[in-house]
Amino acid sequence: MEEQRTRRSPLWGGPEWWRHGPPGWWNRQGDQARGARLPWPSTFVLTAFVLIGSQFAAQAQEGDRALLDPFARVLLLVGSGVLLWRQRYPVFVVFVTAAAAMLYLGAGYAYGPVFFTVAVGCFSAVVAGHRRAAWIAVGMLWTGHVLIAHWLYRWLPPSGDGPSAWGQEVVVATWVVAIVAVSELVRVRREQWARERAERAQGARRRADEERLRIARELHDVLAHSISVINVQAGVGLALLDSDPEQARTALTTIKAASKEALGEVRQVLDTLRAPGEAPRAPAPGLDRLPELVDQAASAGLTVEVLGAAPDLVPGTDLAAFRIVQEALTNVVRHSGSRHARVLVDQAAGALRLRIDDDGPATGEDAGGSGNGLAGMRERAAALGGTIEAGPRADGGFRVLAVLPLKLKEDR
């Protein structure tokens, strides 16, 4: 119960932050509005305008309304000076300005810019999200004005004053509604701007996450393939270093070539981080480099048979198809006991089909891949609107089947 009393205002039934404005666009980054600099210049200008304007109004209404005295000037100073805290305590400010204006009118002083302070206080409360408080404050002011103008005037200064015309109350009510309506319009627009900013920020974060995922996937595919070839060739070199130095030299040459290619592709990926949005310095790999994959697999002891011709695909689809075949062959080298694999490239019904088979058996529990590679292949395919099916074949071995939308360069 104690916690509930501290969290809710006993007077208005609202949350404790009713004095400071709601979280969101008004209180950017938590309590920033509370720690913001007070609006001294605008408040000074408003105060000067109210004091000078009220003096002229009193002279113009001399004889009908009471002249300004020290008490009137104090009320004007309070009503306008409190606007200095209109951003930190909008509800408090709107009620103080309304109360000061009501006392000012009840004392019989001249009509004038005193209503302007209430308008500014109401505007600040509404745009800060405290619509109910603003409506109550201006409603109390209008009700008080009606009572003073049509009933309490008999006992209030100036002496001999008569009731006001009801048409004047309609004008006052119209101005009140207009002020609140403009305030509501500004509040709605600012909330729309805040939502748009949040959506843009969320979109930027999503694009950044997608770019990080793309780079991580690209690095995984490049390094997993190259390091697998290097690992196999290093084992061959070590085994044959003494018995067959020439074959060991060949293995080292393969390691050098694979590492050089991997460094080049990693450098190309990292260049996109240093200069995002720039065109790549080297063309992205595609299915036209299938012969290189076959040669690299052969250097790792895997014979690859390629069936079908690679179509002339658009760069995005071409890169995805190449990486899928590369990752599938890497998994065969790393996780399969088979030394023979088949790659089928086929196109039919507006789709590109890539099928990679090996005859097994698996050399570990993670046959077909450790999971990251398969996940990366599925992400690449899904990004293009395609699918990946991967799993053991009924007759033994493992199969990866990718179906991608067929997008040829000539169709662009």
Judge whether residue 256 has pLDDT over 90: no
Judge whether residue 101 has pLDDT over 80: yes
Tens digits of residue pLDDT in 195-232:
899 898 898 888 878 777 777 777 777 777 677 777 77
Mean pLDDT, residues 68-74: 91
Q: Alpha-carbon distance 25 to 272, whole Å?
A: 35
User: How confident is the model at residue 115, as a pLDDT?
Assistant: 86
Share of the chain above pLDDT 70, in %: 79
Mean pLDDT, residues 302-331: 87
User: How confident is the model at residue 159, as a pLDDT?
Assistant: 63
User: How confident is the model at residue 66, as a pLDDT?
Assistant: 83
Judge whether residue 135 has pLDDT over 70: yes
User: How confident is the model at residue 410, as a pLDDT?
Assistant: 65
User: How confident is the model at residue 11, as a pLDDT?
Assistant: 37
Half-sphere exposure of 344 (CA within 13 A, CB side): 13
Lowest mean pLDDT, pick from 44-53, 78-87, 196-205, 254-263: 254-263
- Residue that has been written with the tokens 């979109």 in this structure: 203
Mean pLDDT, residues 334-351: 86
Angle (CA) 383-211-319 rounded to 5° is: 50
Q: For residue 6, what are its two tokens?
A: 């501290």
Using 50, 70 and 90 to split pLDDT, how confident is the model at 242? confident
Mean pLDDT, residues 71-94: 92
Judge whether residue 93 has pLDDT over 80: yes
Lowest mean pLDDT, pick from 123-127, 227-231, 315-319: 227-231
Using 50, 70 and 90 to split pLDDT, how confident is the model at 319? confident
Cis peptide before 280 (omega within 30 of 0): no
Pair 281, 268: CB distance under 8 Å = yes
Judge whether residue 405 has pLDDT over 50: yes
Q: In what order do the strands lie in the sheet with 398-405?
A: 303-307, 340-348, 351-358, 398-405, 387-392
Q: Classify residue 303 by its DSSP letter.
A: E
Domain boundaries along the sequence of the chain: 2-164, 283-412
User: How confident is the model at residue 257, as a pLDDT?
Assistant: 76
Using 50, 70 and 90 to split pLDDT, how confident is the model at 76? very high
Q: 283-412 in CATH: which number?
A: 3.30.565.10
Higher pLDDT, 283 or 11: 283
Q: Strand pairing of 303-307 and 340-348? A: parallel
Is 243 buried (19+), middle (13-18) or exposed (0-12) by CB count in 10 A? exposed
Judge whether residue 372 has pLDDT over 90: no
Q: Alpha-carbon distance 93 to 82, whole Å?
A: 6
Using 50, 70 and 90 to split pLDDT, how confident is the model at 1? very low
Element (H, E) at 92: helix 90-106
Judge whether residue 266 has pLDDT over 70: yes
Mean pLDDT, residues 4-23: 41
The contacts found for 39-43 with CB under 8 angstroms, 24 or more apart, are: 39/83, 39/84, 39/86, 39/87, 40/84, 43/80, 43/81, 43/83, 43/84
In angstroms, what is the C-alpha Rg of the chain? 39
User: How confident is the model at residue 411, as a pLDDT?
Assistant: 62
